[in-house]
Amino acid sequence: MPWSVRLSLVFIAAFVLFALFGQFLSPHEFRATSMFDRLLPPGSPEYLLGTDARGRDVLVRLAVGAQITLIVAIAGTLIGAILGSLLGILAAARRGPTEAVIVAAIDVQASLPIIVVALFVLAMFDNSFVLFLLLIGLNGWEVYARLMRGATLSAKEHGYVTAVRALGASPIRIYLRHVLPNILNVALVQFTVNLPLTVLLETALSFLGLGVQPPLTSLGQIMSEGRDRLLTAWWLTLFPGAIIFLLALSVSLTGDWLRDRLDPTLRSER
């Protein structure tokens, strides 16, 4: 395993632990304000990473923001992965009109920038966390559908599938017991590719004020709150921005390594 992947895995583990237990590193509650402690720089006696314009502890807010970002990233990516994978397998299993409709939906989704759709929907309707999560989940489902459709069509022609079909196995048994286990690596690799993109999409929408709404917070929202104080309170944007950058980079490096390990064509070329 390359050293870059080792470091990436260490950072991902540290990020998850920080998201889960980071609130216990500070005695302050993430919504507690103190007008006497506004914009304290990092290294203050009671505030390790400083405070924001309302006197809230940046450390505990980063922990809560990391937790929300982690939930949105994993849940949103899972929604897209499950929806796209099911539609891709269905398109390969049910040829004809069903496949044509799904392929057309894939083409339409691929032609629409998801951030533009999300901006329109969130601006038109009440911005709830559930709606925001569903919109995040639509990001990239068409890629899963296209990949899983191709993988399923390929797997259907393998000898072991032909053999169990000749033995009288039902279509459901063939797909669940023989096709699906052999194409799951495709969805797994794409999951690691889409995860950092989901993090960046959540960050962008929250930065624009259309993502996670108060009283909840996220890393993107913390950055948005500090964008007007880049020179006077640099820590409000530097710390969440560095976490987002390192998280996206770490997941991307891990995903590339995992793809090289699971893709047999890449293994044969080395």
pLDDT tens string 129-146: 888 888 888 888 888 999
B/e letters for 192-227, b = 16+ CB within 10 Å, e = fewer, are bbbbbbbbbbbbebbbeebbbbeebbbbbbbbbbbe
Tens-place pLDDT, residues 72-125: 889 989 999 999 988 988 888 887 888 899 989 988 888 888 778 877 887 777
What's the pLDDT score for residue 181? 77
Q: Which domain holds residue 66?
A: 3-269
Helices within the chain (DSSP H only)? 3-21, 58-93, 97-111, 114-124, 129-137, 141-156, 159-166, 171-174, 180-207, 219-225, 235-262, 264-269
Residue labelled with tokens 């939930």: 71
60 versus 35: which is more confidently predicted?
Answer: 60
Confidence band for 270, pLDDT divided at 50, 70 and 90: very low
Residue 50 backbone class (left: φ over 0; alpha: ψ -120 to 50; beta: rest): left
Count CB neighbours of 94 within 10 A.
13
**Rounded mean pLDDT of 9-26?**
92
Tens-place pLDDT, residues 36-46: 888 888 988 88
Whether omega for the bond prior to residue 264 falls within 30 degrees of 0, making it cis, is: no
Tens-place pLDDT, residues 198-252: 888 888 888 877 778 878 888 888 888 888 888 888 999 999 999 999 999 999 8
pLDDT value at 150 more than 90: no
Contacts of 189 (CB under 8 A, 6+ apart): 255, 258, 259, 262, 263
Domain count, the chain: 1
What's the pLDDT score for residue 269? 47
| Position 161, amino acid | V
Confidence band for 263, pLDDT divided at 50, 70 and 90: low
Token reading at 225: 């709150």
Cα distance between residue 270 and residue 265, in whole Å = 9
Confidence band for 159, pLDDT divided at 50, 70 and 90: low
CATH code: domain of residue 251? 1.10.3720.10
Contacts of 15 (CB under 8 A, 6+ apart): 66, 70, 243, 246, 247, 250
Tens-place pLDDT, residues 170-189: 777 777 776 777 788 888 88
164 versus 109: which is more confidently predicted?
Answer: 109
Count CA within 13 A, CB hemisphere, residue 129. Answer: 13
Confidence band for 165, pLDDT divided at 50, 70 and 90: low
What's the pLDDT score for residue 160? 65
